[in-house]
Amino acid sequence: MQNDLDAGSEAPSASELPQAPERSGGATRVAYLIGGTGLFVAMATDAVAVLGRHTGFTLLGSIEVVQCCIVLIASSAMIFATLKGSHAAVHILTERLSAVTVQRLARISAVLAAVLFMVLAGAGLWLVHDLWGGHERTELLHIPITPLRLLQVGALLFIAALFLRSLFRRSAP
C-alpha cells in the first residue's frame, strides 16, 4: 500500500495525475458556476475589506457576505464531490474483500449516505419552517437567511438523489 505522505516519495508525473474530463454534464457545470461565483465574491469581498483596513476605510458586513458565499461554496463542493465520486474513503478493509462483497458494501454505503443527506435536508426544512415567520436576517446587511437555507436543503436533496441514482446504477448488470 502506498502512502502519499511517505518520506522520500516523489511527486507524480503528469501522466499519473488525474485528467479532467473533456465533456462535463449540466449539473457539474452548474456546481462549478455556483461554487466559483461564491468563491470569487468571497475572495473579492475579503480582499476589499483587508485593503480597506490598511487604507483607513472599513467595509461593514464583509464577514456576512463571506459567510453567505460559504453556503454557495460548500453546497457546490458537496455536489461536485458526489458527481465525481470523490468523497473521502478508506479502503483498508474493502481492498481485502471480494468484488461481490465490495459491491454489496457500496450499495449499503449509498443507502446510508442518501439517508444521511435526507435527514440533514429534513433538519434544514425544519429550521426553515420554525423560523419562517421570524424573517431571519444577518445583523448588519440584513441579508435574508431563508433563501440560503433553502439552497442548502436543495443541494442536500440533490446529493441524496445522486447517491440513490448510484445505488440503482450499481444494481443493474
- Look up cell 459567510; give the residue: 67
The two counts, helices (H) then strands (E), for the chain are: 4, 0
Cα separations (Å) of 61 from 75, 94, 141? 22, 48, 6
Predicted pLDDT at 24: 59
Can you tell me the distance from the alpha carbon of 61 to that of 93, in angstroms, rounded to the nearest whole number?
48
Its pTM stands at: 0.78
46-80 pLDDT, tens digit each: 999 999 999 988 888 999 999 999 999 999 999 99
Q: Give the residue, 115 or 31, on which the prediction is more confident.
A: 115
On whether the CB atoms of residues 146 and 132 are closer than 8 A, the answer is yes
pLDDT in tens, 107-134: 999 999 999 999 999 999 999 999 988 8
